[in-house]
Amino acid sequence: YKYWITFIDAHTRFFVVSFLRKKSDAFEAFKAYKAYAENALGAMIKCTLDDKGGEYVSKEWDAYCVQEGIVRKHTETDEPYQNGISERANQTIQAAVTAMLVEAKLPASFWTYAVRCFVHVHNRLPTSSLSGAIPYSLWKKGKKPDLSYFRVFGSLAYVLIRKDKRKALQTHTRKCIFVGYADRVRAWLFYDPATRKFFNSSNAVFDERCFP
């Protein structure tokens, strides 16, 4: 991926990030977000605001919004303050991801994992923009987030190898790097430097002071 697009619900301030191979993929990302958000909230999207970037301007996108009853609004060119929520969000994400990669001593190629990890955590913490309310709780209609499984991005983890996957006399764990949280299941996401593969697991011991 080369780009990301951030969708923010104005009421809950819940972030959803989609990754794009090219900017023109933004329209398909919006349609996917619309389906996800409307299903989660039980409400229809009525209005959108964007910065009038070229990726947002197309007859196809306009026609789709007319069909779906969505009012489209754009900020004026070179006036990013008019879309301050999104501008601040992207600046916050970029600064956080840069710091996370530096702290973890990971190359820039891990940027998508850092973005996902940051957004996952950010949505589950109180925000001053909502007077201390939690975006996740508003998005989930009052459900409180579980923070007990949070770990430091890029830290060392000893991940349990399942018994049926172990060879005789093989160690029971493998040294991996924690790079985020699994989608749709309660598990962590790891990178194994030995195999150069990513995988999910819920069985691991962390050393959050060590960044391999």
**pLDDT tens digit sequence for 177-208:** 999 999 988 999 999 999 999 999 999 999 99
pTM given for the model: 0.91
Q: Consecutive 10-residue runs of the chain (212 residues): their mean pLDDT? A: 95 97 96 98 96 88 97 77 78 97 98 98 96 97 96 97 69 93 94 96 97 92
Q: Does the domain made of 3-139 have the CATH classification 3.30.420.10?
A: yes
Give me the residue spans of the domains in the chain: 3-139, 156-207
Long-range Cβ pairs for the range 91-94 (8 Å, 24+):
92/122, 93/4, 93/6, 93/15, 93/17, 93/118, 93/119
Comparing CA positions, the residue from 6, 15, 7 lying closest to residue 135 is: 15
**pLDDT tens digit sequence for 75-94:** 876 665 556 788 899 999 99
- What beta strand segments (E) does 84-165 contain? 156-160
Per-residue tokens: 8: 């923010």
